[in-house]
Amino acid sequence: MPSYYLAATLARFADEMVAFTLVLLVLDRTDSPALAGLTGAAYALPAIVTGPLLGAWLDRTPHRRSALAVNQATLAAVMLVLLTTVGRGPDWIAPALAAVAGATLPMVSGGFTSMLPSLFSPQRLARANAFESVSFSAAAIAGPATAATLAAAVSVDAAVVVIVGAAVLSIVAITRLPALPPVGASGEPFLASVIGGLRHLARTPPLRASTVTTTLLMGCTGILLIALPLHMPSLGQPRSAAGYLWTAVELGSVTTALLLSRLKLRPEYVVMLSVAAYGLVLSTWSLAASFAVLIALAVTAGLAEGPTLPAMFAARQQYSPPDLQGRVSTTAASLRVGTSALGQAAAGLLVPATGTRLALVVAGLGLVVAALLGGLSKVGLSPGRSGGKPPVGRA
């Protein structure tokens, strides 16, 4: 549905700009890597708590469109306030406001994605997942590149204004989405509903393997969000040039996401293999002697990482019953976002102490470890002991 992809992509475009622009805004006005890392972490960290709660509510409410719109309105308002306060008031203001915007962040990924099984037939889900991955990738291509270009050519402030505009346009697109009925049991106690989603994630081995791998992937991404802008001067580039690296990664990613969307491997294996391959390529980034070489390595890393998102969506859908889709999607998204926050906070302290090259190596090897831990996490409780329904569809 064009309305769905337009609304989702605009929201994700704004979010992709935020993750990069917040770092640039704080660095530009305070020159403090630690505060930049803390602000980025504050934007992402609340999702660890709010994700499971939002997911349980989404499964039982007919007001999903309103929730998505409120999320975008909150983002727009917070970014306008940040524009007037960062660097002009106490340091705590930036992370505090970022935390407000981040509280509903799981809506951008899990909130939209959980709608797919209700919007598309089972026969069309594989293709819908591929286009969903393209939506993420298109936002990740355009978001950082737009932020980098505006920051270099105009100012970081201009990038903030574009974020606000994208959020408002997303609200307009959201109003065109169809109203979807609740899929969860409205009579179930809310807390039991929240726990049910967490239990399903923890006790379904293939879903657990995918979730562990992609969650740790985002921790390494958090390290890169801080390390890459600080690494750019060593290659003769401004900090904002890091945005083009994220664009290069996503250009490679969207290519393989489309070409390999119908891989016959079980989705959790695709997730683990592609993340490991991404990590191996990323480990070589510190060796790049020029920005052009680093761009080429970024594209290669994206080609390796491309199958991850479609396979992650497929794992959630195939191993979760319909009445758990919202909870599983937003809970998994909250874990990913929260781990990214921890990565950013750690990088804010790590990079000044060790240098950017070592931080890049740590992030790359961390992805390989993420894939290994995902594989190890698959060993344990069987789906039959999960207390939930059997997997949906075939793996």
Q: What is the DSSP string of 205-260?
A: HHHHHHHHHHHHHHHHHHHHHHHHHHHGGGGT--GGGHHHHHHHHHHHHHHHHHHT
Q: Tell me how far the alpha carbon of residue 240 is from its chain's centroid.
A: 20
Angle between helical axes of 2-30 and 156-174 (0-180°, round to 10): 160
Burial of 121 (0-12, 13-18, 19+ CB in 10 A): exposed
| 326 has a pLDDT exceeding 90 | no
What does the alpha-carbon distance between residue 69 and residue 169 come to, in Å, rounded to a whole number? 10
Q: Which two tokens stand for residue 162?
A: 């574009």
Phi/psi for 381 (5° steps) reads -60, 140
What is the spatial distance between Cα 168 and Cα 166, in angstroms, rounded to a whole number? 5
The residue-averaged pLDDT of 214-235 equals 92
Place of tokens 């250009």: 251
Mean pLDDT to the nearest integer, 260-288 = 89
Identify the band that residue 338 occupies on the pLDDT scale cut at 50, 70 and 90: confident
Query: What's the pLDDT at 184?
Result: 57
Q: Give pLDDT, residue 391.
A: 36
Band (71; pLDDT cuts 50, 70, 90): confident
Q: Is the confidence at residue 381, as pLDDT, over 70?
A: no
* pLDDT at position 24 over 50: yes
Give the 3-state secondary structure of residue 392.
coil
Domains of the chain: 2-177+189-385 (1.20.1250.20)
User: Cα(223)–Cα(342) distance, rounded to whole angstroms?
Assistant: 9
d(CA 215, CA 67): 24
Averaged pLDDT, 217-241 = 91
Of the ranges 11-15, 70-74, 261-265, which one carries the lowest mean pLDDT score? 261-265
pTM here is 0.71
Q: Which two structure tokens, joined as six digits, stand for 395? A: 């793996």
Q: What percent of the chain has pLDDT over 70?
A: 92
Q: For residue 166, what pLDDT is reported?
A: 93
Residues in the chain: 395
Sign, CA dihedral 20-25-27-32, equals negative
**In the chain, helix, strand, coil percent, each to 5?**
80, 0, 20
- Which amino acid is residue 82, in one-letter code? L
pLDDT above 90 coverage of the chain, percent: 32
- Model confidence at 201, pLDDT cuts 50, 70, 90, reads confident
Quick: pLDDT tens for 356-369.
999 999 999 999 99
CB 239 within 8 A of CB 232: yes
Taking residues 341-364, report their average pLDDT: 89
- 260 or 241, which is more confident? 241
